[in-house]
């Protein structure tokens, strides 16, 4: 992120959250990481020896904290205290075939080979299914009505 955007993000987060709320967020993260570390001392993943949707959810939040440079480094410094959690992030990525170097989480996204990309027909089908499901959900929840 360039410094201008970092300054805007920092000012915005300070305006929304007061100092006590930010401290509570840090304390909450610390508590969750302690609990996650305890679970990982029992199993390779949170619910056993294979990844679950809970692992995807947790890694989806923790990996960006580790991989990206946010203006406030406090969350990252808290995460770096827990080697077990960092190893867990690396194991999760390796399980799904993402090559990890010496770092538990890669800092860059690897280029996809042209042959590994989805076909246009598959993308169109996925888009149509997703749009149909969203419209169905909107109709069921009275977001809009069809006359």
Range of the domain at 131: 113-147
Cα separation, 88 vs 43, whole angstroms: 10
- Report yes or no on whether pTM surpasses 0.75: no
CATH code (residue 11):
1.20.1050.10
Name the token pair of 111: 């280029």
Average pLDDT over residues 10-17: 61
Same domain, yes or no: 7 and 69 = yes
Q: What pLDDT digit, counting tens, does each position of 125-134 carry?
A: 888 888 888 8
Q: How far is the C-alpha of 105 from the C-alpha of 102, rounded, in Å?
A: 9
Contact, 110 vs 116, CB < 8 A?
Answer: no
Please provide the average confidence, as pLDDT, over all residues in the chain: 77
Residue 91 lies in a domain: yes
Q: Say if residues 66 and 86 touch (Cβ distance below 8 Å).
A: yes
């Amino acid at each position: 992120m360039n410094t201008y955007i970092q300054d805007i993000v920092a000012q915005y987060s300070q305006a929304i959250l007061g100092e006590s709320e930010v401290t509570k967020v840090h304390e909450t993260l610390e508590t969750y990481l302690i609990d996650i570390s305890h679970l990982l001392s029992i199993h390779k993943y949170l619910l056993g020896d294979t990844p679950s949707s809970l692992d995807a959810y947790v890694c989806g939040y923790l990996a960006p904290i580790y991989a990206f440079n946010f203006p406030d480094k406090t969350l990252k410094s808290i995460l770096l205290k827990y080697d077990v959690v960092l190893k867990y992030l690396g194991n999760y990525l390796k399980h799904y075939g993402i090559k990890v170097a010496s770092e538990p989480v890669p800092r860059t996204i690897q280029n996809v080979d042209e042959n590994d990309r989805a076909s246009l027909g598959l993308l169109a089908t996925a888009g149509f299914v997703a749009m149909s499901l969203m419209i169905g959900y909107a109709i069921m929840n009275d977001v809009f009505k069809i006359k």
